[in-house]
Amino acid sequence: MPFEIVEFEHIKEETTAKLEERFELFCCELIVRYFGELGMIVTHTGGDGGRDMIVEICGFRIVVQCKVWFKNCINRKEIDKFKTVVWEKNFDFRICVRVLEEKIAKKAYELAENSGGNIIVTIYIRMC
């Protein structure tokens, strides 16, 4: 069933930790609402270490990292760190989700593209 994806709002008074947690939960909710009928299990891990949520479906394990940065850019170095963390844990696919597309460097997209489909870099509006 289609639903409207609301825009994620930056609340000025919010602490960085609260903002990050709220964005992670926002992304979890989007995935559950859009793919929940497929039997997908979504776990918000809430801890850092490059794993904000783990999605399990049809025997696959997918790790999702949510970046809510409004000022900094996701660059190749961030994707390299993400790749290292998740390959050590033997996930099938990796997704890095961002708020603003203009804050994702071209090199980050290129690294993801050259991963053979194992890493996806996207913004939350395109997740669903």
Domain residues of the chain, as ranges? 16-127
The token duo for 32 is 């559950």
The single-letter code of the amino acid at 13 is E
Query: Which of 60, 56, 59, 58 lies closest to 31, judged by CA?
Result: 56
Tell the residue number behind the tokens 């609301």, with chain if given: 6
- Give phi and psi for 8, each to the nearest 5: -80, 125
- Is pLDDT at 2 greater than 60 in this prediction? no
Q: How confident is the model over 57-68, as a mean pLDDT? A: 86
- Is pLDDT at 60 greater than 80 in this prediction? yes
For the ranges 1-10, 48-57, 68-77, 118-127, the lowest mean pLDDT is seen at 1-10
Q: Is the pTM of this model over 0.95?
A: no
- Is pLDDT at 3 greater than 60 in this prediction? no
- pLDDT confidence of 1, banded at 50, 70, 90? very low
Are the CB atoms for 64 and 49 separated by under 8 Å?
A: no
Query: Which of 46, 51, 11, 53 lies closest to 30, judged by CA?
Result: 53
- Is pLDDT at 94 greater than 60 in this prediction? yes
CATH class belonging to 16-127: alpha beta
